[in-house]
Amino acid sequence: MNLRRKLLLVALCTLALPMAGWLYVRQMEALLREGQAQALIASARAVARSLVVTHAVLPQGDAAWYVEQAVAPITVDGYGDDWAPLTPWSQPFGQRGKLMLAEDANNLYLYAEVRDTQRTRADAMDGANALSADHLNLVLGNASGQQRYLLESDAPGAITAVASGTPMPGLPDAFPAQWQEDGSGFRIELRLPRGLQLQTMGIGAYVALDGGDRTAVELRPLLDFSPALSTELAGLAPDHTRARVLSPQGWLLARSGKLDTALGAQGQPGWFASLVYSALLATRLEDANLWAQDVPRLDTPEVQRARAGRQVSVWRNGEERGSVVLSAAVPIEQDGKLVGVLLLEQASRAVPLLANRALFGLLLTSFGVLLVAGAILLFFATRLSLRLGRLRNAAERAQLSDGRLDGLFERGRFPMTDAPDEIGDLARSFEKLFEAVGGYTDYLQTLASKLSHELNTPLAIVKSSLDNLEHAELPPDAHPYLARARDGVARLGALVRAMSEASRMERAIAAAEPEDVDLREVVRGCAEAYRPLAGARRLECVLPDAPLHLHCAPEPIAQALDKLFDNALSFTPPDGWLRLSLQAIDGDAEIELANQGPPLPAAMQGRLFDSLVSLRDKATPGDAPHLGLGLYVVRLVAERHGGVASARNLDDGSGVAFSLRLHGMPRQRL
């Protein structure tokens, strides 16, 4: 990763600023909503106390039968088609019954279903008491008292409910009803006039298969929606709020007001702003379906908590886009007893608009700061990269291909040495380093010639002295010492000449210019030149079928092969064999020269290609000394071509193999 990308990554760290701002806006939005919730709860508690103080008509008791408002005309026929809109709020009774009550301006309607898969009819009892058959017990009560009725039929159709016991004033002695049944049970539907002024109702179903009390009923008071309570509630509820009073069981008793969904002066947020608010800021919005509908009964978790005596508030999405609704539920208590639940709802567009505006303003400011910071860092990184590039180019140009420093490099020529920052310190350090390296390189390059020049005179003196000693009369036992001294002088002279030759060879290899060549032709030419030198030895050349092109310096490679062949020839017996091969391996070229001969010592395999290391016998007087520079030159050629030189024993133990792995030299830029 380059410097500009690293600084760009550092610039991206400034994204923590809008993140922190988002958390701050979210916290402020939560505090704002919490303040509104506390205010609405306080208003709801005040309205609840006012309802108790003004002696509003509130239900007493823990259970009641609720009479719903008929949403459509009801036909009394014993079928539940007309009751479909009210079915979700049916009220269970007994173990098998389900009851629905509805009213309109003139009548009170009752629909009861009883699950009974094995009917027991009155006619099957051979005239026995009808109470032994499946039947429905109904008790109606008004201010005068209560009247019991029995509803039973031996076949579907119209029936008559007949009163039992002493007739009560204001209650009918009998009234018609409809009885329908199928394999799942029986259904009863009836209609009563509103003029009866009913206050309580008891209902119970007897199924002969279950047994039990044949006259048992569940007697409860009747509850319905109260216009009078709604009027009183409208006078107490705050403006622009919707209020609802629920019974302890959650039945709707009164409602007033409506939610203010007007756009107002602040306007309506767009769909994107609404999405941002709901997704990033208001993460605690509840579902609006149950709260938004005017249903007969609310049984949400918030209402249940209010029925348990706790006050609670909840935020939900409004019906209009971009609006939210705050709902508060508080218990209505009288003499320490729960008599109802009050719900207050208030619509708001200000909270989403203010939160969105704060968030968008923060994001725009943060991104603007981020862009400016990124541009500044990018400019700084670009300038820094250019300065470092100049420093790199100057360092690369300061050295020639043969290792020597550029002759034009002088003090003051290195760029940015006058800069007062860290780059200037680095440039000045590079300048001092190159001056020191240049001086040391010049010293090393002239060391061999200096040593050769300085050692020639002492060697000449020693040699002339030995020549004079040969003409002098010496005792016989001194002649071996004289021969040893002459041999040492010869070796020392060869060492001085080899040092000079090695220095020149290193410079020649480093200065070699690469070109595109076919290595097959290079290896084939070397093999043809080696055949006369091999004598009686067998020389085999193995080349690939296809051309093997490589960007390399052919002359140093040929010199390296000469060194390898000279080394192999000295260890190969007169009737032995040599094998020169070329092959391509993973995009590289490998030249291998194998020969028959003694194996390599295990301790020397890692040092064969070092300078002044040789395996040839150094103790034979009169022979030319072997200084171990040939394989060192082979290593220099391999490293110049990005490769490596290695040696190994053959698997069958018949000899050794020296390989030259070449990767190719880099192409120079124009």
Judged by DSSP in three states, 483 sits in helix
Distance CA 633, CA 506 (A): 8
Q: Which of 65-79, 127-141, 279-293 has the least mean pLDDT?
A: 279-293
Considering the chain, what percentage of its residues have pLDDT values greater than 70? 77
Higher pLDDT: 512 or 585? It is 585
The model's pTM is 0.52
| Res 670: pLDDT | 47
Counting beta carbons within 10 angstroms of the beta carbon of residue 52, is it exposed (0 to 12), middle (13 to 18) or buried (19 or more)? middle
The first and second tokens of residue 280, run together, are 């990033």
Quote the tokens at residue 224: 């319905």
Alpha carbons 398 and 169: distance in angstroms, whole number = 125
Secondary structure class of 335 (helix, strand, coil)? coil
Q: Mind listing the pLDDT tens digit for each residue in 306-337?
A: 988 899 988 777 666 656 788 899 999 888 88
The Cα 38–Cα 202 span in angstroms is 42
Cβ atoms of 176 and 159 closer than 8 Å:
yes
* Other beta carbons within 10 Å of 365: 13
Taking the CA atoms of residue 409, residue 412, residue 414 and residue 416 in that order, the dihedral angle to the nearest 10 degrees is: -170
User: Residue 357: pLDDT band by 50, 70, 90 thresholds?
Assistant: low
Residue 215, Cβ neighbours under 10 Å: how many?
13
The full length of the chain comes to 670
Q: Are 554 and 660 in contact (CB under 8 A)?
A: no
Q: Is the pLDDT assigned to residue 525 strictly greater than 80?
A: yes
Q: Which H or E run includes 254? A: strand 252-256
The answer to whether 253 and 59 are in contact (CB under 8 A) is yes
Task: Tell me how far apart the alpha carbons of residues 629 and 609 are, in angstroms, rounded to a whole number.
Answer: 8
Looking at residue 621, its pLDDT comes to 45
pLDDT of residue 53 exceeding 50: yes
Cβ neighbourhood burial of 399 (10 Å; 0-12, 13-18, 19+): middle
Helices (H), 310-421: 350-397
Sequential DSSP letters for 188-209: EEEEEEGGG---EEEEEEE-TT
Q: At what angle do helices 479-510 and 554-571 cross, to 10 degrees?
A: 150
Q: Which of 524, 520, 668, 511 is nearest to 589 (CA)?
A: 520
Domains defined along the chain, listed by start: 3-57+227-358 (3.30.450.20), 65-224 (2.60.40.1190), 422-501 (1.10.287), 512-662 (3.30.565.10)
The predicted-structure confidence for 604-661, as pLDDT tens digits, reads as follows 665 677 655 555 544 444 444 444 567 878 888 888 888 888 888 998 888 999 998 9
Structure-token pair, residue 639? 């490293």
Residue 348 vs residue 81, higher pLDDT: 81
CA 469/CA 473 separation, integer angstroms? 8
Strand partners, 96: none
